[in-house]
Structure 1
Amino acid sequence: YQKHLGNILMAMSVNPADGKVSVVGTDATNEIRFEPNLNGRFLRVNVSQFNAGGSNAITDLNPHLDYLTSSVPPATREQSIGDPRGIAWLNNGSKAYVTGMGSNNVITIDANGARVGGAPIRVGQGPTGIVLDEARSKAYVLNKFEGSISTLDISNDKEVARANFFDPTPMVIKAGRVHLYDTHKGSGTGHISCASCHVDGKWDRLAWDLGDPSGVMDTVDNVVFHPMKGLKTTQTLIDIIGRGTGNLHWRGDKDGLIHFAGAFQHLQGMDQPMDAGSMQEFEDFLANTWYVPNPFRTYRPENGPAAARERIVNPNRVRYHGTTFQSVQSAGVSLFVAVNVNCAHCHVFNTGRGDLPGQGNTAGTPNIDMTGNENMAADLRATYRKIGFFYDGPSTAGFGLMADGAFPTNFNRLTTNNDYFGDYENELLSWSGGLFVPNCGACDNFPLYHGSNDAGPAVGHRRTINGAIGSAADITFMKTLANDKPSEYGMIVKGIYGGEHRGFYYTGSDTYQSDAAGETMTHAQLINSAQAGEPLSWTIVHPSMAVRAGVDEDGDGILDQDDQVAMVNVRATMNGPFDGTEMKNDLQSNGVLPSVDPYGFGVTANPDVLAQGGSTAPVDWAVVELRDNTNPAVIVATAPALVQRSGNLMAPGGEQTIVFPGAPAGNYHVVVRHRNHLGVMSFSPVLLNSPGTMVDFTKPATPTWGTNAQRNVNGTMVMWSGDVNGDGLIKYANSANDRDLVLLEIGGAVPTNVSAGYLLEDVNLDGQVKYAGQNNDRDMILQSVGGSVPTAVRTEQLP
């Protein structure tokens, strides 16, 4: 093993020229005490390099930061990389590309790990994987959060294309996760975020002393808390909202997520606390996170000796050398609720989470004196993740099970008398995955229950049959699980049926609903078809996901086989708000972007969509049209859309794919129109029959109808701005010109007046109409007609 490479290691690549290993990740400075000393600088983003058996060379990937202050100017912040997730080397070993999932960019390093090149390459939200195609001088970056793939030209390290793919992620996740991961939005230095410690919403396996010697006493729920907190291990954020009657943090000193808003300023270096709207998005996101299936649980989550023996292959193993269980393996849950001062007095049985510190018992249990307790009763569902991989050996995590990191990972050494904690091991390691009264008979005496987001142990279990490969008995076992546990397990089938890609979900009684309305199949029919050579895969899912994952991928209520309608992904940029890199979202920032489209469709946007930030923030409403493939003057279908800062158009519900329910899949000319910009149309019809089709009007290589349909601004094609009266012409002078309308909007007499709001005369979309002065709208009209001849006219290139 190569040691001391960093705390969180995210991605690894081998330099093909010299065989040196490079690992990108982060390293915490938790040896430094107190929040004021850590503010904005508690972490480094590094690349660690070594040859086999050699020493480590660790290089900071943010050399522009001196870590002397908690905040730097925005331009400096934009240079930072945060939460690195991918690395790929050129074949000659001279340069590598590193993706920053938190910073939405890609940087380049030389063979020694030093930053090279100019500014980072801006890509879509959440870049993770990257692959190089040197034969074509290209790199491809997966932007996981945005649902897109960026194409980079590695001859000049520029993004040259971006293609969307279908992404079923719910909007509550898309809107909220930016507050967990985004290092530019969530910090003063651009390289840290909540996810720096709460890695992927969980933890960094470290303890921190975040006390403040200069702080003041704080009273929460009539309990007074000292500002010196002491050493506390990082806690998971998964499914913490609304669980139990207790507060948040080990001490219970936060009675809601909103009270963590100050941490964005006092720990992450933001210029101000996070606003209430963003904190609500963050809370909604965390409320929709789930515990993944527990690897120690049986597929059938009943309690009892048989199930307990399944939970650990060798039931006599415990997490310490030479010890054995001291009673039958089902004893753990009995002890949890049976001894005089038992665990269930403080730990609610389904999550383990308890009440406020010092109050001891949970509702419905006898009063006990726990006044010496200074911490919340912890959620027990993540206990197994704190245990080392090996049974026989010391902890390698650095910090143990308790709030301050005490107690290594062996259960029999937790008590003074070295006694019965080994009996708890099966239960504690198996806690996540759902404990309910029906499958935990011993819990009947403790009815307090507050629900939990726990995926059952069999969720994700998949088996395939392809001719003679695969077992029908395995599939039948999965069907039995779905029959016996319908509230915990659903089942879907995907693959080839009747020569086509099809989907199904299990409805019970040996019957499956297909992805075509009114069509059902029996279990035997699907098995027989797969055994005849048309491969099918059966997967256990949560029952709430069976319909969408099986037969309705876009969740519109129309089954996939029947949903053969036109759909398209579109990118377009408007010249008015374009700053040379992305469009500005001033209408949103100034609170004037309407929630209902301004084109008369009567469509209301999802509030979470309107509140999105970063590159996905909405700039303004637009209209997407489909036109007849033989007569492009004929409009076949229209749909309102919101234009993001990045240029991606999204549906009002947040989906990146614009769907036209009334238009069958086929070939269409695609048009984007805007209320005060000239529209643009694809030159040739485009086949629209899948959610992966992209029409990118921002690229010069995309053919468009007519002549000079758009303006080229440093390699980005933008829609002409200034058609204030919507007549398809941009005119600065003469009759029916657009300039005069700007003057009339501000009063018609005093050219320095300003009107604010969502107005057609606001050509640059900054929320203000200005005829004179800096950033005025009149000049944009003149620039669109050429900038020198005021009588020139710009005509929309649409038939």
Structure 2
Amino acid sequence: MEAMLLRKLVFPAVSALALLAASGEARASQPLTAFESGQVRPMAMSPNGQRLFVVNTPDNRLEIYAITPAGLEREASVAVGLEPVAVAARNNHEVWVVNHLSDSVSVVAVGAHAHVKRTLQVGDEPRDIVFAGVGGERAFITAAHRGQHAPFDPQLTTPSVGRADVWVFQASQVSAEPLTIVNLFSDTPRALAVNADGSRVYAAAFNSGNQTATIAPGVMPKGGEQAGGLPGPNVNHAGIGEPDNGLIVRFDGDHWVDELGRVWDHMIKFNLPDKDVFVINAEAPVPALLPDDDGFFAGVGTTLFNMIVNPVSGKIYVTNTEARNQVRFEGPGIFADTTVRGHAVDNRITVLDDQGVHPRLLNKHIDYDNCCAPVPNAESELSVSQPLGMATTSDGAVLYTAVIGNDKVAIYYTAELEDDSFYPDAFDQIPVSGGGPTGLVLDEANDRLYVMTRFDNGISIIDTDALEEVDHLTMHNPEPADLIAGRRFLYDAALTSSHGDQSCASCHIFGDKDDLAWDLGNPDGDIMAVTDNIRTNFGIGDIDFHPMKGPMLTQSLRGLDNHGPMHWRGDRNGVDQQPSAQPDTGAYSEVAAFNTFNVAFPGLLGRDQELAPEQMQAFTDFALQLVYPPNPIRNLDNSLTAQQQVGRDFFFNNKSVITADLSQFTCENCHRIDAQANAEYGVARPGFFGSDGQLVLAELGQTLKIPQMRNFYTRVGAFGMVGGDAFFNSPGQPFYDDSHQGDQVRGFGYAHDGSKDQLLRIFNGFSFAAEGFHDIDTMLAVASFLFAFDTNLAPVVGQQVTLRKQDFQLQAWAAVNARINLLRARADADECELIAKTRLGPFELGLLYEGGAYTTSFSGLPSLTHAQVRLLALSSPVTYTCVPLGTGERLGIDRDDDGTRDGDEQLWWQW
């Protein structure tokens, strides 16, 4: 039957292909949707040392290279899911690829014609993978505790729930169902590691926190610290009093205390155990955490990047940063004599062993009392910033570390690292061309180190004897030139900070957030006037921007485009371009707004001066392309649950009566949702997702921008904060109780400062006319809707399914066919573009669904029907993927976007 199918569908067309020239209409350049997913395990080597596997994150592919005495030779390229960030070799013939945006794992058969043979669906935003257990036959994959594939309720309004999971599959079985899902009591996870005999798997939280939290504004007496209020200074250098700000406190092992040592246990009613690295028994009949204190390590770091186990000693090394957000203020620190300028985080490798947790500072040479020398300088050239992937020698003596922020590989001798006797030395640092190292693989047989370089999407080859780079190659990269050029300014600490160890990415982790609040006011600064993009002042009057703004959560760099002025207050704006109007003028200009962040390079990172205008514009062009991922809570068909629909109806229809002059406004009147909003301005721009850039004067004691709401689901887990004044914490409300809530996974929640533990406290800030506003079921419905809030991309974007020969059996067919039909239906609804990939003998066949049929990557082949594409799976698995609108042609049939289809280029190459 397979032979008949191939003759019917393929052979007539292939004969026609012999007559082809590289013809066909030239197609317009296809856009790329930029997510800036952080690579975790971007490279792996086959057990026999003959192949190197590399994720091509921007091109959504796995690249396969033959390892030869002369270097690397490209052998194959396999389309996988969207945003692959990790790869692991199960054996010499099979590798597994983790697709961060697709919430999937591609199982790739390696051989003469490499291809995806299975696709496994996992939880939201999977990041890492290892094989362990008896014979290495179990696959362990980290994912957030949520997502449309999760067989559980994420319990987003329930305290004391672990927000991280490890999905475990029996790799040799054909079942797509996991053997188990191990829940971790932490926030979202990232890295995995396995010990030498495969009996233990170590799983780490990502933004794990550092046992800090925010006391809400309004709970402390006025009059400064002498009256029991906010620590001084309480005025700026000009003597103007600060707003009614909150205060960051830290758990000292016994109590929640502020910088003056005062105890605030009555305001933070939860425990924050800060469990960071978890230990899983990989060989148990059902893998599970080790019991009691043996099952975790606490206090490893604030943001944990990668882990590796010493193959001889069994000690674990964790690359991480430790945030200093308990230190107040940015700027020169003249008036207040305290600042984090030039020292916001410490870059570390933490050693874990039977005796406990041993953090090691990597930049011992830095004198943080001196700031800010021009760059580069002797001090900055030795620094490391944001250490990521690691590799060890087989004897466990040497540890190689990729350092994304300094374009280098740092070498540590493990004995010196463990006893903390090492000191930075230029001899132990290897410059890497291409920029932005994220991961590496050690090939001891050939005395080589292979290094993934994210900035140019390349691979550097280092001679481990000579300790120098001997070759560099790049992979196909569809990213636009301005995205590539601007990326460096997010990560490059050597360029952007005086000490060479701080960058924007130190807090905006991979362009996102660190889940912390920082008090980055500047007492040496002056009052700034508010702009004219004002929604309301609640009848209170104008309040200008005070330079001492109090604690504020780190915001994501995603989704900035089209949402006007920036930062929580909207004080980063283009006020020099009056008058203000949407789109892109005055305070609404995103380009002008982002450029104003140039002051942060000297004021926060400690650079001697701002970036050159052209450098800052390159950074701006990069940042404004970053987008939020699809919402993982909303149904894949973009429908709402009954509860979410009730919440949406309230959000759009119920009127507030908070003040006399604003008796007729709804939630949506301020937090605007309109994916097509810019149609009214005659421009093609993304819409509004919670904000259109307007300000609310005097809200929470100071002027704030109406915030977007696309990532509320990521901020769950800090239950037990006592709200501040009655505005947020009216006595007797049934929404929440202020009793102690036990162990929690996060220290910061909602509002600009993270001092509200759940959305229900925010709702209580407004008095709505609708009957039932104080009804718990109604408010839970509103929360449910906000967790499923619209983003720039429909929920189906990235989703995949692979149809295999064995799926034609009746039992398997229903589920696979239903998912194919779902993807097709969402493409018909213009929520995504649908592509498919399979093989025709030695050729990759790409397919793009358009007009009810599938255009092929061979211009000589006719379009195929749904039935014909399904039948192709009898010969080779067919993987369907929903991709962002506008990218289907490039991802499906014209990879290099040159107007000649991929299949035609394969034929010409073969010929």
TM-score by length of 1: 0.61
Total equivalences in the alignment: 514
Partner of 2:505: 195
Asked if structure 1 preserves the Cα contact closer than 8 Å seen for 2:459 and 2:473, the reply is yes
What is the correspondence of 1:136-147 to structure 2 with a 5 Å cutoff? 136-147=446-457
Q: 1:348 aligns with which of 669, 672, 681?
A: 672
Q: 2:314 aligns with which of 8, 11, 19?
A: 19
Q: Does 1:108 align with 2:411?
A: yes
Q: Match of 1:336, SS?
A: helix
Q: Assess, with a 3 A threshold, how the Cα gap between structure 1 residues 135 and 404 changes in structure 2: closer, same or farther.
A: same
Partner of 2:654: 339
Structure 2 CA distance for aligned equivalents of residues 374 and 413 of structure 1: 17
Asked if structure 1 preserves the Cα contact closer than 8 Å seen for 2:718 and 2:746, the reply is no
Partner of 1:400: 749
CA deviation after TM superposition for structure 1 residue 479, in Å = 4.2
Structure 1 CA distance for aligned equivalents of residues 742 and 839 of structure 2: 48
Q: Does 1:85 align with 2:85?
A: no
Q: Assess, with a 3 A threshold, how the Cα gap between structure 1 residues 546 and 503 changes in structure 2: closer, same or farther.
A: same
Asked if structure 2 preserves the Cα contact closer than 8 Å seen for 1:400 and 1:407, the reply is yes
What is the correspondence of 1:474-553 to structure 2 with a 5 Å cutoff? 474-475=816-817, 477-484=819-826, 485-516=828-859, 519-530=862-873, 532-553=874-895
Q: Assess, with a 3 A threshold, how the Cα gap between structure 1 residues 164 and 344 changes in structure 2: closer, same or farther.
A: same
Structure 2 CA distance for aligned equivalents of residues 426 and 515 of structure 1: 46
CA deviation after TM superposition for structure 1 residue 259, in Å = 0.9
Q: Assess, with a 3 A threshold, how the Cα gap between structure 1 residues 186 and 475 changes in structure 2: closer, same or farther.
A: farther
Q: Match of 2:370, SS?
A: coil
Structure 2 CA distance for aligned equivalents of residues 390 and 229 of structure 1: 24
Deviates more, 1:104-113 or 1:556-565: 556-565
Structure 1 CA distance for aligned equivalents of residues 394 and 841 of structure 2: 45
Structure 2 CA distance for aligned equivalents of residues 62 and 385 of structure 1: 32
Asked if structure 1 preserves the Cα contact closer than 8 Å seen for 2:834 and 2:848, the reply is yes
Q: Match of 1:135, SS?
A: helix
Q: 1:224 aligns with which of 544, 567, 588?
A: 544
Q: Assess, with a 3 A threshold, how the Cα gap between structure 1 residues 480 and 213 changes in structure 2: closer, same or farther.
A: closer
Structure 1 CA distance for aligned equivalents of residues 344 and 598 of structure 2: 18
Q: 2:399 aligns with which of 96, 121, 125?
A: 96
CA deviation after TM superposition for structure 1 residue 169, in Å = 2.1
Partner of 1:29: 324
Partner of 1:125: 435
Q: Does 1:463 align with 2:801?
A: yes
1:249-287 deviation line (CA, Å, top 9, x unaligned): 111111111111111121112221122222222222222
**Letter aligned with residue 249 of structure 1:** H
Asked if structure 2 preserves the Cα contact closer than 8 Å seen for 1:515 and 1:561, the reply is yes
Partner of 1:247: 565
Q: Assess, with a 3 A threshold, how the Cα gap between structure 1 residues 537 and 64 changes in structure 2: closer, same or farther.
A: same
Asked if structure 2 preserves the Cα contact closer than 8 Å seen for 1:77 and 1:188, the reply is yes
Asked if structure 1 preserves the Cα contact closer than 8 Å seen for 2:522 and 2:548, the reply is yes
Structure 2 CA distance for aligned equivalents of residues 521 and 456 of structure 1: 26
CA deviation after TM superposition for structure 1 residue 486, in Å = 4.1
What is the correspondence of 1:666-745 to structure 2 with a 5 Å cutoff? none
Structure 2 CA distance for aligned equivalents of residues 555 and 510 of structure 1: 21
CA deviation after TM superposition for structure 1 residue 412, in Å = 6.8
**Letter aligned with residue 253 of structure 1:** D
Q: Match of 1:241, SS?
A: coil
1:623-663 deviation line (CA, Å, top 9, x unaligned): xxxxxxxxxxxxxxxxxxxxxxxxxxxxxxxxxxxxxxxxx
What is the correspondence of 1:175-186 to structure 2 with a 5 Å cutoff? 175-186=485-496
Partner of 2:293: none
Structure 2 CA distance for aligned equivalents of residues 164 and 284 of structure 1: 23
Q: Does 1:69 align with 2:366?
A: no
Q: Assess, with a 3 A threshold, how the Cα gap between structure 1 residues 176 and 239 changes in structure 2: closer, same or farther.
A: same
CA deviation after TM superposition for structure 1 residue 149, in Å = 1.0
What is the correspondence of 1:206-217 to structure 2 with a 5 Å cutoff? 206-217=516-527
Partner of 2:353: 51
Asked if structure 2 preserves the Cα contact closer than 8 Å seen for 1:98 and 1:106, the reply is yes
Q: Does 1:424 align with 2:782?
A: yes
**Letter aligned with residue 348 of structure 1:** R
Q: Assess, with a 3 A threshold, how the Cα gap between structure 1 residues 372 and 225 changes in structure 2: closer, same or farther.
A: closer
Structure 2 CA distance for aligned equivalents of residues 225 and 480 of structure 1: 49
Q: Does 1:358 align with 2:678?
A: no
Q: Assess, with a 3 A threshold, how the Cα gap between structure 1 residues 220 and 176 changes in structure 2: closer, same or farther.
A: farther
Q: Assess, with a 3 A threshold, how the Cα gap between structure 1 residues 227 and 137 changes in structure 2: closer, same or farther.
A: same
CA deviation after TM superposition for structure 1 residue 481, in Å = 3.8
**Letter aligned with residue 820 of structure 2:** M
Q: 2:619 aligns with which of 269, 282, 295?
A: 282
1:442-490 deviation line (CA, Å, top 9, x unaligned): xxxxxxxxxxxx2221111111123214755534643454345442111
Deviates more, 1:334-343 or 1:80-89: 334-343
1:594-617 deviation line (CA, Å, top 9, x unaligned): xxxxxxxxxxxxxxxxxxxxxxxx
CA deviation after TM superposition for structure 1 residue 214, in Å = 1.7
Asked if structure 2 preserves the Cα contact closer than 8 Å seen for 1:407 and 1:414, the reply is no
The gaps in structure 1 that reach 5 residues or longer are 310-327, 361-369, 434-453, 566-663, 667-688, 690-799
**Letter aligned with residue 553 of structure 1:** R
Q: Rg bigger for which structure?
A: 1
Q: Assess, with a 3 A threshold, how the Cα gap between structure 1 residues 152 and 335 changes in structure 2: closer, same or farther.
A: same
Q: Match of 1:161, SS?
A: strand
Structure 2 CA distance for aligned equivalents of residues 340 and 272 of structure 1: 49
Asked if structure 1 preserves the Cα contact closer than 8 Å seen for 2:823 and 2:881, the reply is no
CA deviation after TM superposition for structure 1 residue 426, in Å = 1.7
Deviates more, 1:474-483 or 1:8-17: 474-483
Aligned residues with identical type, % of pairs: 31
Structure number with the bigger relative contact order (C-alpha 8 A, sep ≥ 6) is: 2
**Letter aligned with residue 837 of structure 2:** K
Structure 2 CA distance for aligned equivalents of residues 286 and 263 of structure 1: 15
Q: Match of 2:845, SS?
A: strand
Asked if structure 2 preserves the Cα contact closer than 8 Å seen for 1:45 and 1:83, the reply is yes
Asked if structure 2 preserves the Cα contact closer than 8 Å seen for 1:291 and 1:432, the reply is no
Structure 1 CA distance for aligned equivalents of residues 472 and 764 of structure 2: 58
Q: Assess, with a 3 A threshold, how the Cα gap between structure 1 residues 472 and 182 changes in structure 2: closer, same or farther.
A: farther
Structure 2 CA distance for aligned equivalents of residues 515 and 407 of structure 1: 56
Structure 2 CA distance for aligned equivalents of residues 371 and 8 of structure 1: 30
Partner of 1:364: none
1:481-530 deviation line (CA, Å, top 9, x unaligned): 43454421111111212542221111132433334356322221121121
Partner of 1:796: none
Partner of 1:386: 715
Asked if structure 2 preserves the Cα contact closer than 8 Å seen for 1:395 and 1:408, the reply is no
Q: Does 1:562 align with 2:904?
A: yes
Q: RMSD between aligned alpha carbons?
A: 2.7
Q: Does 1:308 align with 2:641?
A: yes
Asked if structure 2 preserves the Cα contact closer than 8 Å seen for 1:140 and 1:152, the reply is yes
